[in-house]
Structure 1
Amino acid sequence: MKYLAAIAGSMLSLAAIAAEPSAWLQAAPANLGGATEKIPDSSFFEVPVSLLDAATSELRDKAFVRQYAQGAAHFGHEDFACPGKSRPYLVRALYSNGGTGGFVLSWIGDSLIVGHVSLGPQGTVLKSALFACLTKEPAQVYSSISGAM
Structure 2
Amino acid sequence: MKPVFQMQRTMLESSQQATHDVVEAQKEAVTQMTESVEQYQTLSEQNAELSKKAVHAYFDAVESMMPEGSVDFEEFEQMLDEQYDALTENQAQMMEAALETMEENADAFDQYADSYTEVVDSSFDSFLEAHERMEASFEDASEQLEDATEELSA
TM-score (norm 1): 0.24
Larger helix fraction of residues: 2
Larger strand fraction of residues: 1
Which structure has more relative contact order (CA 8 Å, sep 6+)? It is: 2
Name which one, 1 or 2, has greater alpha-carbon Rg.
2
TM-score (norm 2): 0.23
